Amino acid sequence: MRPTAFSSTRRWRLPAMGLVALLCALPTSLVAAETFQSRYHDYRVETVVDGLEHPWSMVFLPDGDQLVTERAGRLRRIQQGTLVAEPVAGVPELVVAGQGGLLDILLHPDFADNRILLLSYSHSNMDGMTTRVAKARYRDGRLEDVEVIFEALPRSNTSRHFAGRMAFDEDGSLYIAVGDRGEMDRAQATDDDAGGVHRISLDGKPAPGNPWLNEPDVNDTFFTYGNRNIQGMVRHPRTGAIWSHEHGPRGGDEINILTRGTNYGWPEITYGIGYSGLPITDQTHKPGMAQPLHYWDPSIAPSGMDFYFGEAFPQWQGDLFVGALKFQKLVRLRINDKLEVVEEEDLLTDLNDRIRAVYQGPDDALWVLTDETNGRVLRLTPP
Protein backbone atom coordinates (compact mmCIF):
# COMPACT_ATOMS: atom_id res chain seq x y z
CA MET A 1 0.00 0.00 0.00
CA ARG A 2 1.41 3.39 -0.99
CA PRO A 3 1.54 5.85 1.93
CA THR A 4 -0.38 9.10 1.80
CA ALA A 5 2.16 11.93 2.00
CA PHE A 6 1.63 15.35 3.53
CA SER A 7 3.93 18.31 3.96
CA SER A 8 1.97 20.36 6.41
CA THR A 9 4.36 22.40 8.53
CA ARG A 10 2.72 25.84 8.39
CA ARG A 11 3.08 28.68 10.83
CA TRP A 12 -0.14 29.58 12.60
CA ARG A 13 -0.92 33.25 12.01
CA LEU A 14 -3.31 35.85 13.42
CA PRO A 15 -4.25 39.23 12.00
CA ALA A 16 -1.71 41.82 13.14
CA MET A 17 -3.83 43.43 15.89
CA GLY A 18 -4.87 40.03 17.26
CA LEU A 19 -1.28 38.86 17.32
CA VAL A 20 -0.17 41.94 19.25
CA ALA A 21 -2.93 41.40 21.82
CA LEU A 22 -2.05 37.72 22.16
CA LEU A 23 1.66 38.38 22.66
CA CYS A 24 0.97 40.98 25.31
CA ALA A 25 -1.13 38.44 27.21
CA LEU A 26 1.35 35.56 27.01
CA PRO A 27 3.93 34.76 29.66
CA THR A 28 7.43 35.70 28.47
CA SER A 29 8.53 32.05 28.31
CA LEU A 30 5.97 31.41 25.55
CA VAL A 31 6.59 34.46 23.37
CA ALA A 32 9.76 32.92 21.85
CA ALA A 33 7.91 29.74 20.83
CA GLU A 34 6.30 29.35 17.40
CA THR A 35 3.08 27.50 16.66
CA PHE A 36 2.69 25.30 13.58
CA GLN A 37 -0.05 23.24 11.98
CA SER A 38 -0.05 19.59 11.01
CA ARG A 39 -2.69 17.28 9.63
CA TYR A 40 -4.06 16.36 13.06
CA HIS A 41 -2.59 18.78 15.61
CA ASP A 42 -1.34 22.31 16.02
CA TYR A 43 1.87 22.28 18.03
CA ARG A 44 4.25 24.73 19.65
CA VAL A 45 8.02 24.52 19.18
CA GLU A 46 10.12 26.00 21.94
CA THR A 47 13.88 25.96 22.42
CA VAL A 48 14.76 24.39 25.77
CA VAL A 49 18.50 25.05 25.41
CA ASP A 50 20.91 25.97 22.64
CA GLY A 51 24.69 26.22 22.42
CA LEU A 52 25.29 22.47 22.02
CA GLU A 53 27.94 21.28 19.57
CA HIS A 54 26.30 18.67 17.35
CA PRO A 55 24.13 16.99 19.99
CA TRP A 56 23.63 13.30 19.15
CA SER A 57 21.52 11.64 21.86
CA MET A 58 19.61 12.42 25.05
CA VAL A 59 18.14 10.66 28.10
CA PHE A 60 15.70 11.78 30.77
CA LEU A 61 16.78 11.27 34.37
CA PRO A 62 14.34 10.37 37.18
CA ASP A 63 14.98 13.75 38.87
CA GLY A 64 13.75 15.66 35.80
CA ASP A 65 17.18 16.54 34.38
CA GLN A 66 18.43 15.49 30.95
CA LEU A 67 21.83 14.27 29.76
CA VAL A 68 22.87 15.08 26.18
CA THR A 69 25.86 13.76 24.24
CA GLU A 70 27.78 16.13 21.99
CA ARG A 71 29.58 14.43 19.12
CA ALA A 72 32.53 16.68 19.99
CA GLY A 73 33.13 14.41 23.00
CA ARG A 74 31.27 16.05 25.88
CA LEU A 75 28.37 14.81 27.97
CA ARG A 76 26.18 17.75 29.03
CA ARG A 77 23.55 18.13 31.74
CA ILE A 78 20.35 20.14 31.48
CA GLN A 79 19.09 21.04 34.94
CA GLN A 80 15.67 22.67 35.32
CA GLY A 81 15.77 23.85 31.70
CA THR A 82 19.28 25.34 31.92
CA LEU A 83 22.42 23.93 30.31
CA VAL A 84 25.03 23.34 33.02
CA ALA A 85 28.28 24.99 31.90
CA GLU A 86 30.62 22.27 33.18
CA PRO A 87 30.45 18.99 31.20
CA VAL A 88 29.89 15.73 33.05
CA ALA A 89 33.26 14.34 34.17
CA GLY A 90 34.54 10.82 33.53
CA VAL A 91 33.62 10.31 29.87
CA PRO A 92 35.78 7.48 28.44
CA GLU A 93 38.67 8.21 26.09
CA LEU A 94 37.39 8.61 22.54
CA VAL A 95 38.28 10.11 19.17
CA VAL A 96 36.37 12.83 17.31
CA ALA A 97 36.95 12.36 13.58
CA GLY A 98 34.67 12.38 10.55
CA GLN A 99 31.33 10.96 11.68
CA GLY A 100 32.84 9.69 14.91
CA GLY A 101 32.81 11.05 18.43
CA LEU A 102 30.55 10.63 21.44
CA LEU A 103 27.37 9.05 20.07
CA ASP A 104 24.47 7.35 21.85
CA ILE A 105 23.50 7.35 25.53
CA LEU A 106 21.07 4.90 27.09
CA LEU A 107 19.84 4.38 30.64
CA HIS A 108 19.73 0.90 32.12
CA PRO A 109 16.10 -0.17 32.72
CA ASP A 110 16.82 -0.14 36.48
CA PHE A 111 18.74 3.15 36.38
CA ALA A 112 16.78 4.61 39.32
CA ASP A 113 18.28 1.90 41.53
CA ASN A 114 21.67 1.04 39.96
CA ARG A 115 22.58 4.40 38.28
CA ILE A 116 24.04 2.51 35.26
CA LEU A 117 24.09 4.10 31.83
CA LEU A 118 25.65 3.11 28.49
CA LEU A 119 27.65 5.24 26.06
CA SER A 120 28.65 4.43 22.48
CA TYR A 121 31.54 6.26 20.86
CA SER A 122 34.38 6.02 18.36
CA HIS A 123 37.78 4.97 19.60
CA SER A 124 41.22 5.03 17.98
CA ASN A 125 44.53 3.28 18.55
CA MET A 126 47.47 2.24 16.37
CA ASP A 127 45.29 -0.44 14.72
CA GLY A 128 42.68 2.06 13.55
CA MET A 129 39.22 3.24 14.61
CA THR A 130 36.13 1.41 15.77
CA THR A 131 32.81 1.61 17.63
CA ARG A 132 32.97 0.99 21.38
CA VAL A 133 30.38 0.79 24.16
CA ALA A 134 31.11 1.48 27.83
CA LYS A 135 28.93 1.21 30.90
CA ALA A 136 29.29 3.57 33.85
CA ARG A 137 27.50 4.77 36.97
CA TYR A 138 26.24 8.34 37.00
CA ARG A 139 26.42 10.15 40.32
CA ASP A 140 26.46 13.84 41.20
CA GLY A 141 27.36 15.09 37.72
CA ARG A 142 30.14 12.60 36.98
CA LEU A 143 30.67 9.09 35.61
CA GLU A 144 32.25 6.42 37.81
CA ASP A 145 33.23 2.75 37.35
CA VAL A 146 33.60 3.19 33.58
CA GLU A 147 34.07 -0.18 31.86
CA VAL A 148 34.28 -1.04 28.15
CA ILE A 149 31.86 -3.89 27.44
CA PHE A 150 31.91 -4.01 23.62
CA GLU A 151 34.41 -3.23 20.87
CA ALA A 152 33.77 -3.93 17.19
CA LEU A 153 36.66 -5.73 15.48
CA PRO A 154 38.61 -5.54 13.30
CA ARG A 155 39.41 -1.84 13.37
CA SER A 156 39.91 0.18 10.19
CA ASN A 157 41.24 3.58 9.15
CA THR A 158 37.96 5.02 7.86
CA SER A 159 36.05 7.66 9.83
CA ARG A 160 32.56 6.80 8.53
CA HIS A 161 29.56 4.68 9.47
CA PHE A 162 30.15 4.02 13.15
CA ALA A 163 26.36 3.65 13.69
CA GLY A 164 26.26 3.36 17.52
CA ARG A 165 22.54 3.39 18.29
CA MET A 166 21.51 1.14 21.17
CA ALA A 167 18.37 -0.32 22.73
CA PHE A 168 17.41 -2.74 25.51
CA ASP A 169 14.93 -5.53 24.89
CA GLU A 170 12.40 -6.78 27.42
CA ASP A 171 14.89 -9.37 28.70
CA GLY A 172 17.51 -6.71 29.49
CA SER A 173 19.81 -7.64 26.60
CA LEU A 174 21.59 -4.73 24.92
CA TYR A 175 21.42 -4.24 21.14
CA ILE A 176 24.32 -2.31 19.55
CA ALA A 177 24.39 -1.18 15.92
CA VAL A 178 27.76 -1.15 14.14
CA GLY A 179 28.04 0.37 10.66
CA ASP A 180 29.89 -1.09 7.70
CA ARG A 181 32.58 1.59 8.29
CA GLY A 182 32.25 2.71 4.66
CA GLU A 183 33.62 -0.65 3.47
CA MET A 184 30.38 -2.16 2.25
CA ASP A 185 31.45 -5.77 1.67
CA ARG A 186 32.17 -6.11 5.41
CA ALA A 187 28.41 -6.11 6.07
CA GLN A 188 28.14 -9.62 4.58
CA ALA A 189 31.20 -10.99 6.41
CA THR A 190 29.92 -12.78 9.51
CA ASP A 191 33.39 -13.06 11.07
CA ASP A 192 33.65 -9.24 11.00
CA ASP A 193 31.70 -7.14 13.53
CA ALA A 194 31.02 -4.33 11.04
CA GLY A 195 27.66 -3.99 9.33
CA GLY A 196 25.30 -5.57 11.84
CA VAL A 197 23.50 -5.49 15.16
CA HIS A 198 25.10 -7.14 18.17
CA ARG A 199 23.21 -8.39 21.21
CA ILE A 200 25.08 -8.71 24.49
CA SER A 201 24.56 -9.01 28.22
CA LEU A 202 25.62 -6.18 30.48
CA ASP A 203 28.87 -8.01 31.27
CA GLY A 204 29.80 -7.87 27.58
CA LYS A 205 29.18 -11.55 26.85
CA PRO A 206 26.95 -12.75 23.98
CA ALA A 207 23.33 -12.66 25.12
CA PRO A 208 21.52 -15.96 25.67
CA GLY A 209 19.45 -16.92 22.65
CA ASN A 210 21.67 -15.25 20.07
CA PRO A 211 21.22 -16.98 16.71
CA TRP A 212 24.80 -18.08 16.05
CA LEU A 213 26.12 -19.04 19.47
CA ASN A 214 27.30 -22.44 18.23
CA GLU A 215 28.44 -21.40 14.75
CA PRO A 216 32.26 -21.22 14.51
CA ASP A 217 32.14 -19.06 11.33
CA VAL A 218 29.84 -16.37 12.75
CA ASN A 219 30.66 -13.96 15.57
CA ASP A 220 28.48 -15.00 18.47
CA THR A 221 27.35 -11.50 19.42
CA PHE A 222 25.60 -11.02 16.04
CA PHE A 223 21.82 -10.69 16.09
CA THR A 224 21.49 -9.46 12.48
CA TYR A 225 23.88 -8.57 9.67
CA GLY A 226 23.77 -6.94 6.24
CA ASN A 227 23.06 -3.52 7.82
CA ARG A 228 24.74 -0.46 6.31
CA ASN A 229 24.64 2.29 8.95
CA ILE A 230 21.87 2.19 11.56
CA GLN A 231 21.24 5.59 13.17
CA GLY A 232 17.85 4.95 14.69
CA MET A 233 16.81 2.17 17.08
CA VAL A 234 13.93 1.87 19.52
CA ARG A 235 11.93 -0.81 21.31
CA HIS A 236 8.24 -0.68 20.49
CA PRO A 237 6.52 0.13 23.80
CA ARG A 238 3.60 -2.23 23.13
CA THR A 239 5.03 -5.20 21.21
CA GLY A 240 8.61 -5.16 22.56
CA ALA A 241 10.03 -5.54 19.04
CA ILE A 242 13.25 -3.67 18.22
CA TRP A 243 12.80 -1.31 15.27
CA SER A 244 15.66 0.35 13.39
CA HIS A 245 16.36 2.52 10.41
CA GLU A 246 19.54 2.84 8.42
CA HIS A 247 21.10 5.11 5.87
CA GLY A 248 21.15 4.00 2.27
CA PRO A 249 23.64 5.52 -0.17
CA ARG A 250 21.80 7.73 -2.71
CA GLY A 251 18.34 6.44 -1.90
CA GLY A 252 17.42 3.25 -0.14
CA ASP A 253 17.14 4.47 3.47
CA GLU A 254 15.32 1.66 5.27
CA ILE A 255 13.06 0.99 8.25
CA ASN A 256 13.31 -2.57 9.57
CA ILE A 257 11.99 -4.62 12.46
CA LEU A 258 15.02 -6.53 13.71
CA THR A 259 14.43 -10.27 13.56
CA ARG A 260 16.79 -12.82 15.06
CA GLY A 261 19.30 -14.26 12.57
CA THR A 262 18.24 -12.09 9.63
CA ASN A 263 20.40 -10.85 6.75
CA TYR A 264 19.16 -7.39 5.70
CA GLY A 265 20.98 -7.58 2.41
CA TRP A 266 23.46 -4.71 2.23
CA PRO A 267 25.18 -4.41 -0.27
CA GLU A 268 23.81 -7.45 -2.15
CA ILE A 269 20.39 -5.81 -2.42
CA THR A 270 19.48 -2.13 -2.10
CA TYR A 271 16.99 0.45 -3.36
CA GLY A 272 19.78 3.02 -3.60
CA ILE A 273 22.66 3.75 -5.97
CA GLY A 274 26.26 4.73 -5.33
CA TYR A 275 27.30 8.32 -4.61
CA SER A 276 28.96 8.34 -8.04
CA GLY A 277 25.56 7.82 -9.63
CA LEU A 278 26.48 4.30 -10.74
CA PRO A 279 24.54 1.22 -9.56
CA ILE A 280 25.83 -0.75 -6.58
CA THR A 281 23.77 -3.75 -7.67
CA ASP A 282 20.80 -4.35 -9.95
CA GLN A 283 19.13 -6.46 -7.26
CA THR A 284 16.48 -5.29 -4.81
CA HIS A 285 15.40 -8.81 -3.76
CA LYS A 286 17.30 -12.02 -3.08
CA PRO A 287 16.27 -15.26 -1.37
CA GLY A 288 17.24 -15.29 2.29
CA MET A 289 17.52 -11.47 2.51
CA ALA A 290 14.88 -9.35 4.23
CA GLN A 291 12.86 -6.61 2.59
CA PRO A 292 12.52 -3.30 4.45
CA LEU A 293 9.22 -2.39 6.03
CA HIS A 294 9.60 1.02 4.36
CA TYR A 295 12.26 2.81 2.32
CA TRP A 296 12.94 6.31 1.02
CA ASP A 297 14.16 7.26 -2.44
CA PRO A 298 15.61 9.87 -2.59
CA SER A 299 17.39 9.51 0.73
CA ILE A 300 16.28 11.65 3.69
CA ALA A 301 19.33 10.61 5.80
CA PRO A 302 17.27 9.37 8.78
CA SER A 303 18.57 9.74 12.33
CA GLY A 304 16.82 8.99 15.60
CA MET A 305 13.34 7.51 15.99
CA ASP A 306 10.64 7.03 18.58
CA PHE A 307 7.03 5.92 18.82
CA TYR A 308 4.49 8.28 20.33
CA PHE A 309 1.92 6.99 22.81
CA GLY A 310 1.42 10.11 24.93
CA GLU A 311 -1.73 12.02 25.84
CA ALA A 312 -0.62 15.48 24.71
CA PHE A 313 -1.22 14.64 21.03
CA PRO A 314 -3.94 11.96 21.07
CA GLN A 315 -4.27 11.70 17.28
CA TRP A 316 -0.55 10.92 16.95
CA GLN A 317 -0.74 7.91 19.25
CA GLY A 318 0.99 4.90 17.75
CA ASP A 319 2.78 6.94 15.08
CA LEU A 320 6.51 6.61 14.45
CA PHE A 321 8.62 9.79 14.34
CA VAL A 322 11.93 9.88 12.45
CA GLY A 323 14.47 12.71 12.22
CA ALA A 324 16.01 13.60 8.87
CA LEU A 325 19.45 15.15 8.45
CA LYS A 326 19.59 15.74 4.71
CA PHE A 327 16.05 17.07 4.23
CA GLN A 328 16.01 18.86 7.61
CA LYS A 329 12.66 17.70 8.89
CA LEU A 330 10.82 15.46 11.32
CA VAL A 331 8.83 12.72 9.61
CA ARG A 332 5.63 11.27 11.07
CA LEU A 333 4.71 7.79 9.83
CA ARG A 334 1.39 6.03 10.40
CA ILE A 335 1.71 2.24 10.28
CA ASN A 336 -1.28 -0.09 10.11
CA ASP A 337 -1.78 -3.52 11.66
CA LYS A 338 -0.33 -5.14 8.53
CA LEU A 339 2.92 -3.23 9.15
CA GLU A 340 2.37 -1.00 6.13
CA VAL A 341 3.18 2.71 6.14
CA VAL A 342 -0.13 4.25 5.13
CA GLU A 343 0.60 7.92 5.82
CA GLU A 344 3.70 10.12 5.87
CA GLU A 345 3.84 13.73 6.99
CA ASP A 346 6.74 16.18 7.14
CA LEU A 347 7.05 18.43 10.21
CA LEU A 348 9.53 21.19 11.21
CA THR A 349 10.50 21.86 7.60
CA ASP A 350 10.57 25.63 8.22
CA LEU A 351 13.30 25.39 10.86
CA ASN A 352 16.10 24.57 8.37
CA ASP A 353 17.81 22.39 10.99
CA ARG A 354 19.20 18.89 10.64
CA ILE A 355 17.20 16.67 12.98
CA ARG A 356 19.47 14.21 14.78
CA ALA A 357 17.13 12.57 17.33
CA VAL A 358 13.54 12.55 18.58
CA TYR A 359 12.02 11.29 21.84
CA GLN A 360 8.70 11.11 23.62
CA GLY A 361 9.52 12.75 26.92
CA PRO A 362 8.10 11.82 30.34
CA ASP A 363 5.93 14.95 30.00
CA ASP A 364 4.35 13.47 26.80
CA ALA A 365 5.95 16.22 24.71
CA LEU A 366 8.12 15.39 21.69
CA TRP A 367 11.74 16.38 22.26
CA VAL A 368 14.07 16.93 19.30
CA LEU A 369 17.84 17.45 18.90
CA THR A 370 19.17 19.57 16.03
CA ASP A 371 22.53 18.54 14.60
CA GLU A 372 24.21 21.91 14.22
CA THR A 373 27.32 23.68 15.51
CA ASN A 374 24.90 25.66 17.66
CA GLY A 375 22.63 22.67 18.28
CA ARG A 376 19.37 22.96 20.16
CA VAL A 377 17.04 20.87 22.28
CA LEU A 378 13.49 21.56 21.07
CA ARG A 379 10.20 20.66 22.72
CA LEU A 380 6.93 20.16 20.84
CA THR A 381 3.76 20.71 22.91
CA PRO A 382 0.10 21.58 22.23
CA PRO A 383 -0.54 25.33 21.79
What is the structure's pLDDT at 32?
58
Confidence band, pLDDT 50/70/90 cuts, at residue 33 = confident
- What CATH number has the domain bearing residue 128? 2.120.10.30
Q: What is the pTM of this model?
A: 0.92
H-run or E-run covering 360:
strand 355-360
What is the structure's pLDDT at 5?
66
Query: Exposure of 3 by Cβ count < 10 A (0-12 exposed, 13-18 middle, 19+ buried)?
Result: middle
The mean per-residue pLDDT over the stretch 215-219 comes to 94
**Does 23 have pLDDT greater than 90?**
no
**Does 218 have pLDDT greater than 50?**
yes
Give residue 148's domain range.
4-381
**Does 31 have pLDDT greater than 80?**
no
Active site residues: 161
Average pLDDT for the chain = 93
Q: Are the CB atoms for 58 and 369 separated by under 8 Å?
A: yes
pLDDT digits (tens, 9 = 90+) for 316-327: 999 999 999 999
What is the structure's pLDDT at 190?
96
The mean per-residue pLDDT over the stretch 322-337 comes to 97
∠ at Cα 339 (249, 40), nearest 5°?
A: 90
Confidence band, pLDDT 50/70/90 cuts, at residue 15 = very low
Q: Are the CB atoms for 54 and 373 separated by under 8 Å?
A: yes
**Does 1 have pLDDT greater than 90?**
no
**Does 9 have pLDDT greater than 70?**
no
What is the structure's pLDDT at 115?
98
Q: Are the CB atoms for 285 and 250 separated by under 8 Å?
A: no
State how far the Cα of 97 lies from the Cα of 185, in Å rounded to an integer: 22
Instruction: Provide the number of structural domains found in the chain.
Output: 1
State how far the Cα of 364 lies from the Cα of 291, in Å rounded to an integer: 33
pLDDT digits (tens, 9 = 90+) for 172-200: 999 999 999 999 999 999 999 999 999 99
**Does 378 have pLDDT greater than 70?**
yes
* Sign of the torsion formed by the C-alpha atoms of 332, 336, 339 and 343: negative
